[in-house]
Chains A and B, each alone.
Chain A
Amino acid sequence: DAGVTQSPTHLIKTRGQHVTLRCSPISGHKSVSWYQQVLGQGPQFIFQYYEKEERGRGNFPDRFSARQFPNYSSELNVNALLLGDSALYLCASSLAWRQGALGLNTEAFFGQGTRLTVV
Chain B
Amino acid sequence: GESVGLHLPTLSVQEGDNSIINCAYSNSASDYFIWYKQESGKGPQFIIDIRSNMDKRQGQRVTVLLNKTVKHLSLQIAATQPGDSAVYFCAENNEAAGNKLTFGGGTRVLVKP
Contact = CB atoms under 8 A, between A and B. Distances in A.
Interface string A15-43: 00000000000000001010101011111
Interface in B1-50: 2-8, 31-32, 34, 36, 41-46, 49
Interface string A78-105: 0000000000001010101111100000
Contact of A108 (B2, B4, B8, B99): B99
A108 B46 contact: yes
Given A112-B42, A113-B43, A42 B104 contact: yes
Interface in A56-82: 56, 58
Contacts of A110: 36, 43-45
Given A99-B32, A100-B49, A113-B43, A56 B6 contact: no
Interface residues of B, number: 33
B32 to A, nearest CB: 3
22 contacts: A33-B100, A40-B5, A40-B7, A42-B104, A42-B106, A43-B103, A44-B103, A48-B99, A48-B100, A50-B98, A55-B98, A56-B97, A56-B100, A98-B98, A99-B99, A99-B100, A100-B31, A100-B32, A107-B49, A108-B99, A108-B101, A115-B2
Interface of A: 4, 31, 33, 35, 37, 39-45, 48, 50, 55-56, 58, 90, 92, 94, 96-100, 107-113, 115
Given A90-B43, A90-B44, A96-B99, 9 more contacts: A43-B103, A50-B99, A97-B98, A97-B99, A98-B93, A99-B100, A100-B32, A108-B101, A109-B46
